[in-house]
Amino acid sequence: MSYLNTELLSTLLNNESVDEIFRQELESVTNELLTTELTAFLNYEKYSVEGYNPGNSRNGYYERTIHSRLWKLEY
């Protein structure tokens, strides 16, 4: 949410729809939440030494798409 106010104001001044801004922010927050949840579940930070060969590690990820009534979110 670094420049949300600036982007929102600019969009409103140009009489454009704010839907894309809200979609991007929701996508960003969802990704951050999932990353934080993974860290809490595994009980160690990303790139931490505790994560080397514990049997339950961060073995990469693949992209997913969430379809909602309003938007399609990528994470």
Q: What pLDDT is attached to residue 22? A: 85
Q: How far is CA 52 from CA 5, 7, 34, 60, in A?
A: 41, 41, 21, 13
Each residue's pLDDT tens digit in the chain (75 positions)? 467 788 888 888 888 888 888 888 888 888 899 889 988 988 888 888 877 777 777 777 778 888 878 777 777
Domain of residue 14: give its range: 4-74
Number of domains into which the chain is organized = 1
**Rounded to 5 degrees, what are φ and ψ at 67?**
-100, 120
Q: What pLDDT is attached to residue 2? A: 61
Q: What pLDDT is attached to residue 36? A: 93
> Could you give the CA distance from residue 62 to residue 28 in angstroms, rounded to a whole number?
16
Residue 39: CB partners within 8 Å, gap ≥ 6?
A: 45, 46
> Could you give the CA distance from residue 41 to residue 16 in angstroms, rounded to a whole number?
41
